[in-house]
Structure 1
Amino acid sequence: SAGRGQELRMARGVAVLLHGKGGAISQARVRRLLGAGSQVVSLVPEKAREKKKPQAPATAATAAPTAPARGRPASYLDLYKQSATRCPGLSWTVLAAIGQVESSHGRNNGPSSAGALGPMQFMPATWKVYGVDGDADGKADIWSPYDAVPGAANYLCANGAGKGGEKLRKAIWFYNHSWDYVNKVMGVAEGYARAYT
């Protein structure tokens, strides 16, 4: 409910986090409950879901390829966790929250009305400075989550995110010049922290 969402300090209209053990949560059932327009994204690594029961192949929005190539993580969750290590002091939950708010974990890669591109919605000029070749395939690709998520960690770190507190909030503000955006990202990050750590 909206009241429960406020109590949990969740960002309104952005995310509902569900936590269950042993495959107790069905994405299809959640989608039916929330309605056809809802976006349901699992942060459980695809391999863990496959062990529980066979499922249809993952889409780019729900998980990265299940067989890691060139050291690629097996899911967005793993990618956020791995990328956060580029910036000591930065929680993976902040990267995951930005990924949720910006593109719903790769489901809406743009371009945005402002010209931002890819799963982490970088402006091309910012990407030229902070983009990275996260999967060591020889190119820094703004459209690839394997490059964009570590690129976001790189950009946040350059703006002081690893120092936490107000420095973290200011680094998120540099990502998108809106304090409402900062509050939304922090709210989603807190939700992920409660659910996964």
Structure 2
Amino acid sequence: MDREAQKFWRDRRREMLRRDRSTRRGQGTPVTFVIIGLLVVGWGIQNFFPGWIFDVSVYGGRIGFIVLSTILPGSLLGLLLDGLFVWLIGSELEQVLKPWQYVAVFFGSGIIGATVMTVMGAGAAALSVFGLAGAYVYVMARYNYQGAVRWALLLLLINVVLSGFHPSVLVGMVSTFGVGLGIAWSMGAG
């Protein structure tokens, strides 16, 4: 084996040992649990205390509302789908990202996506999960480029259907995906 192949396998072995140690200690995926918990809190605020959203938009302005909208899933179905997606994709990302990187991808991409939707005239929405998808596709592309491309095209198709063919929502989803991918790339994720 050449030096690059040896370094690759040595790094993979270290990563596997680190994962094994963290699961034996029972750490699991704490950031993923916190993100899902925030989505549940956001859903609770939307349904039981909607006046708080108005207060945030009045006292925090548009910026406060956009930041809050990163955790507002919209409906119970949205909460279930977002929670499932964060559980499936986020727990995988948490294995290769540091906690601050994971949070940066989630909130950074969500804030940019909500800003794009607001500028295009639609209300802000919780699009942060698409940022996680972008980061996941970037990490996957480092190991299996064709699989990552297929996964990204499938996500695009699902997004088109979920957006109801509404251009501002679709552009928000795609921009959030792109920002998540860009943040993962800039941090050298994976």
TM-score by length of 1: 0.31
TM-score by length of 2: 0.31
Structure with the larger helix share: 2
